């Protein structure tokens, strides 16, 4: 049986971890990438409600600009 890590929605200290892959390395001990910068958690980039905002999408196409034909 394989234990799959779940992605934390609201980590206590996201600034302490690199979120670029599933290794979740400490900032000073990154094992992948070029080691120059850590990947930020989505809550650091888009705010604490990032998960709810992303799930609110209704997956509909935006309306076509008026006066333009969108048919193929």
As a three-state string, the secondary structure of the chain is: CCCCCCCCCCCCCHHHECCCCCCCCEHHHCCCCCCCCCCCCHHHHHCCCHHHHHHCCCCCCCCCCCCCCCCC
pLDDT at 5 (0 to 100): 74
**Which pLDDT belongs to residue 29?**
86
Residue 1, pLDDT score: 63
pTM value is 0.61
Residue 33 dihedral angles phi and psi, to the nearest 5°: 75, -165
- What is the structure's pLDDT at 13? 94
Enumerate the domain spans of the chain: 14-47
Mean pLDDT by 10 residues, the chain (72 residues): 78 91 87 78 89 65 62 57
| Residue reference for tokens 């302490």 | 16
């Amino acid at each position: 049986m394989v234990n799959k890590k779940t992605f934390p929605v609201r980590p206590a200290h996201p600034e302490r971890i690199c979120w670029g892959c599933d290794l979740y390395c400490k900032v000073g001990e990154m094992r992948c990438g070029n080691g120059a910068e850590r990947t930020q958690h989505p809550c650091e980039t888009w705010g604490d409600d990032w998960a709810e905002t992303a799930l609110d999408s209704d997956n509909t196409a935006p309306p076509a600009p008026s006066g333009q034909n969108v048919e193929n």
